[in-house]
Chains A and B, each alone.
Chain A
Amino acid sequence: MISIKNLTKIYRTPIRGKHFVTDLFNHHYKKITALDQVSFEIGQNELIGFIGPNGAGKTTTLKILSGILYPTSGDAKVLGFTPFDKKPAFLKQIGFVMGQRNQLIWDLPAVDTFVLNKEIYDVSDQDYQKNIDDLISILNCRDVIDKPVKTLSLGQRMKMELIATLLHRPKLIFFDEPTIGLDIFSQEAVRKFIKTYQKEFKSTIILTSHYLEDVKRLAKRLLIINQGKILYDDDLKTILEKFGGGKYVTVMLEKGVDQNLLTKIGAPITNQFPKVVYRVKRSDIPQTINLINQLLPYSDLTVEDERIEEIIKKLFGK
């Protein structure tokens, strides 16, 4: 469905000189490599989590894949099309949700944008009604579609944005930070929506987010990008096995114990009574638990994988 090879995008940005008057006559630019020989493939019905720090190249990749930006070099094929050709047959099959942008007409009810998109995407009256009903029912937002957009909360606007983008049932959807700025309830609603939508309509989805929770909850495959290069492209589970060197053992103590006793098990990474946390190699888990049973009075004991946030931090550190 998506195949990109050696995709490179270089932005040219002006450099401010020492004096604003001489700047008018001497233009200097610097080149910023947003994508550097990026290659990957994505198959049908996949839901990909695409993460990286600010300026890593996530949004640039999505914009090239959707035909908004022209790549400096490399090949991109999406649904059999070259995106920048902007063929209507291609654009009708994609949808782009941008968390920080909106397509809704500010002064008018969201339903006016839906009607406009119905014409833009050549959706039949029958399909329009069915798709709108389906989306409204998943998002539970029937009462807001007739209210002017400017009167809606951010969460409600995002729901309207999702309907506007998806009412033509795109095969491929780009979600660029769809939960940014939303409260935890709205974030949860958007996550739930994406999961339900993908399950029901078998779309291919690429999701970028700063909230790792979004990716952990939704994606099976993870693409990690930093400084324009792909650092990781594999299953979400595999990253834990490959790069997660250990597990976290959390002990909730019943009563205070001597520090020497605690260090007999290992050096705790957190020690705030009653909570003590150890980072332990996978192979040492049985031995550590035995020791804890013998030495510590505890009310609760949990063993967790290393947090994905930590693993990704380590990857970026490389």
Chain B
Amino acid sequence: MKNFKLFFLFSRNALRTTLQARSGVWFFMIGKICRFAFFFLMILLIFGKTKIVRGYSLPQMLVFYLTFNLIDTTAQILFREVYRFRYQVISGEFDLTLAKPFHPFVKILIGGVDFLDLLLLIPYLLLTLHFAWQTHAVTAFNLVAYFVLLFNSLLIATAFHIVVLALGILTTDVDHTIMIYRDLTGMARFPMQIYQEPLREIFTFIIPVGLMMTFPSQALFNLLKPSFFALAFLISFTMIFLSLRLWNAALKKYQSWGG
């Protein structure tokens, strides 16, 4: 309960800080909308030439893309503070977080909710439901499975971000590791079927960005085997467990830079 209250206060302060830079807010929003619009346009152009890509129709392909955006944006909303972690480590401000009686993740993982991205989430969600409806394959059960797997994807995203934080402590580098994460998840903008083996297996199970980004949509279209459903949770829980182990080991190695 206390951590929720702190999360609320950190988020409120993050919003107030964000709103200090008004021109920055507009540029950020325009940039995000442009990027989304260009990808959307690209999909429409591809489907202007063909009806089916790797067995998926245009609405299905759009749902894959929108689902990627939903997960990616939610992760950025929640974990924006991770992008600022390097500064906290090299300046030594992380020391002050460690000396306070709350779990440091409340500050360094989810302590800087990005409200600008939150605004983009609403159109993504509405468009996803709109195109999902056009596939005529969506049932109530599939919809529940979809949202459950979205939650599972966020668990995997959480594990990835905890690993980035742990590596931030060990190497003082955050920018590059977070870019690797972004690039890897970007490979799963579209269904894994567009890749040949063994890339498909690697992206699905070893670096589970496929599992993270495409399983929810496959469940929505009733294309996911039940065993894969269980596997998705097994992998996400294993990743959370391992990332926490790495975090605890990193804390013991923390050297407190900056004096």
Contacts and interface: CB of A to CB of B under 8 A. Distances in A.
B68 to A, nearest CB: 33
Interface in A1-50: 11-12
A120 interface: yes
B9 A105 contact: no
Contacts of B16: 107-108, 112
Contacts of B95: 63, 68, 96, 98, 101
Contacts of A103: 93, 96
Interface stretch (B50-58, B99-107, B173-181): B99-107
B23 interface: no
A12 B257 CA distance: 12
Contacts of A11: 255
Interface residues of B, number: 27
A213 B96 CA distance: 26
Given A68-B99, A105-B13, 19 more contacts: A59-B259, A63-B256, A68-B95, A69-B256, A70-B254, A88-B102, A89-B101, A91-B99, A91-B101, A96-B99, A101-B91, A101-B93, A108-B17, A112-B13, A112-B16, A116-B10, A119-B2, A119-B6, A119-B9
A101 B101 contact: no
B194 interface: no
Interface in A46-67: 59-60, 63, 66-67
A115 B20 contact: no
Given A91-B101, A107-B16, A68 B9 contact: no
B252 interface: yes
Nearest to B16: A108
A94 interface: yes
Given A91-B101, A101-B92, A112-B13, A120 B256 contact: no
Contacts of A115: 9
Nearest to A115: B9
A108 B101 contact: no
Given A92-B101, A105-B13, A107-B17, A119 B96 contact: no
Interface string B210-247: 00000000000000000000000000000000000000
Given A11-B255, A105-B13, A67 B91 contact: no
Contacts of B101: 88-92, 120-121
A26 B2 CA distance: 46
- Interface size bucket, A side? 35 or more
A97 to B, nearest CB: 10
Contact of A69 (B13, B102, B254): B254
A120 B259 contact: no
B102 A120 contact: yes
A100 interface: yes
Nearest to A106: B17
Nearest to B100: A120
A102 B96 CA distance: 8
Contacts of B255: 11-12, 69
A96 B101 CA distance: 12
27 contacts: A11-B255, A60-B256, A63-B95, A66-B99, A67-B98, A68-B99, A68-B254, A69-B254, A70-B251, A70-B254, A84-B252, A88-B101, A89-B101, A91-B101, A98-B92, A98-B96, A101-B95, A102-B96, A105-B13, A108-B13, A108-B16, A108-B17, A112-B13, A116-B10, A119-B5, A119-B9, A120-B100
Contacts of B252: 70, 84
A112 B13 CA distance: 8
A122 interface: yes
A105 B17 CA distance: 9
Contacts of B258: 100-101
Which 3 A-B residue pairings sit nearest by Cβ, starting from the closest? Answer: A91-B101, A88-B101, A70-B252
A275 interface: no
A100 B252 CA distance: 23
Given A116-B9, A121-B101, A101 B96 contact: yes
A67 B102 CA distance: 13
Given A88-B102, A98-B96, A115-B9, A122 B91 contact: no
A122 B99 contact: no
Contacts of B251: 70
A2 B215 CA distance: 54
A86 interface: yes
A63 B97 CA distance: 12
B88 to A, nearest CB: 10
B13 A116 contact: yes
Contacts of A90: 101
Given A69-B256, A116-B9, A96 B102 contact: no
